[in-house]
Each structure stands twice: as C-alpha cells, then as structure tokens.
Copies of this chain bind each other. A is one copy, B any other.
Amino acid sequence: MRHVAISEMLSWERFYRANFINTLSGFKSVSLIGTSNNEGNSNLAIFSNIVHIGADPALIGFVNRPREAAPHTLSNIEATGSYTINHVHADILDAAHQTSAKYPIDESEFEAVGLTPDFREGVTAPFVKESRIQYAMELSEVIPIQTNGTYFVIGKLISVYFDESTLSDDGFLDISKAGSLTSLGLDAYYETTMMKRLRYAKFKREE
C-alpha cells in the first residue's frame, strides 16, 4: 500500500490532485438536472453528487458548486422551486457530459447537446425525454457549506417516471436494467453488474 499525506497532495499539479481527490470518495450517482427560469429559458446540467437523504419524507440532496462556477441550475431552482433529475445511459452519455461546458444563459443546453426537453403538467422544470428514469423535485432547503462555498441542495420527491422493467416485487428499482451509469472522478463513467442483495443485518450476541 502506498501512503500519501495531505501535505504531499498539496504539492501536486492541480489537475493531478483534482483527479486523485475526486476519485477517492468513490462511485457517484450521475444524472442530468433540468430547470427553467421565470422567462422560460431551459437549462440542463450534469451532476454527480446526488445522495439519498430519507424515504419518509422522500428527500434527495445534491452538491452544487459555488455560484460563480455553476450559477444557472441553482438560481433557476431558487426562482421556480422546481427541478427534474434524469438518469444517464450509454446512448445519451456524450450529450450528457457535454452539458458540463459553460453555456451562456440564453443558450439552452438541451438544444446545444441534442436532448429533448419534455414539459409535463404540474412540473415547471423540463424532463429529459431520452432518459429512462426521471423524477421531479420540489426545493426544500439550500444549505451553504461554509468550508468551501458550495451548497447542499435538498428537495422533496414529487413524481417519478420510470422504465417498468426495472421494478422488482419489493419496490427495488434495478436501475442497471435501464442502463443507468455510475461516474467516478471528473470524467469517467462505468457500467454496473449486480453482485448481490443482502438481508437486513441483525445483531445477535453469541450464546
């Protein structure tokens, strides 16, 4: 095993260090977040730090970079309270990744990368028509992270559109059946293969 202390990492070239630290925390849930502003301009951006917060109430969070680095998604969510999260599969991966480029506010990433915005009743933000698992969120809390100026954005689940072939008898969605990918670091994408599901773990003191 090789050992590296933070003092050594700080001496590394910036992109080398960013790759290392970004991969260390492990596989991520990669999805496209769709929003629109009050003028009706749509925005689409790829996010990979999406986490389950709780099932009752149904809450999901994501990390948003500082405002100057990634302004549109967060300001649209604050303006309308609405956003959609859309899984990414192989056929739309290149387009999804391209949304990470910095587009001007008047340019829709949907059009620029070739994905289709799908507006549906009761949800202000656009879904990504090509995505096989899509869900709508309503903003609950925007929590500033003091240490580095990022934000933890928490929302309530409103509705879900999904490929029914992924649904198991016990409510589990095997999203790998819909080709949903996982990401690692800044630029790597992985396919997955289920190894196993394990039973709920219980403590039993030895007799």
Q: When the two chains form their complex, are residues B193 and A190 in contact, meaning their CB atoms are under 8 A apart?
A: yes
CB distance from A127 to the nearest CB of B (A): 10
Find the B residue at minimum CB distance from A198. Answer: B97
Judge if A80 is at the interface, Cβ distance under 8 Å.
no
Q: When the two chains form their complex, are residues A24 and B157 in contact, meaning their CB atoms are under 8 A apart?
A: yes
Q: When the two chains form their complex, are residues A25 and B50 in contact, meaning their CB atoms are under 8 A apart?
A: yes
Q: In the complex, what residues of B have CB within 8 A of residue A2's CB?
A: 161-164, 167
Q: When the two chains form their complex, are residues B15 and A171 in contact, meaning their CB atoms are under 8 A apart?
A: yes
> Could you give 23 example pairs across A and B, Cβ below 8 Å?
A2-B163, A3-B161, A4-B159, A4-B160, A6-B157, A13-B171, A15-B170, A16-B170, A17-B56, A18-B56, A19-B168, A23-B175, A24-B162, A25-B29, A26-B175, A28-B29, A49-B51, A97-B198, A182-B190, A182-B192, A187-B198, A188-B196, A189-B198
Further 11 A-B residue pairs, CB within 8 A, beyond A1-B162, A143-B145: A1-B164, A3-B160, A6-B157, A20-B172, A21-B52, A23-B174, A26-B30, A49-B51, A99-B201, A191-B193, A193-B193
Which A residues lie at the B interface, using CB under 8 A?
Answer: 1-6, 9, 12-31, 49-61, 63, 85, 87, 90, 93-94, 97-104, 107, 112, 132-135, 140-141, 143, 145-148, 150, 152, 154, 156-164, 167-168, 170-176, 180-182, 184-203, 205
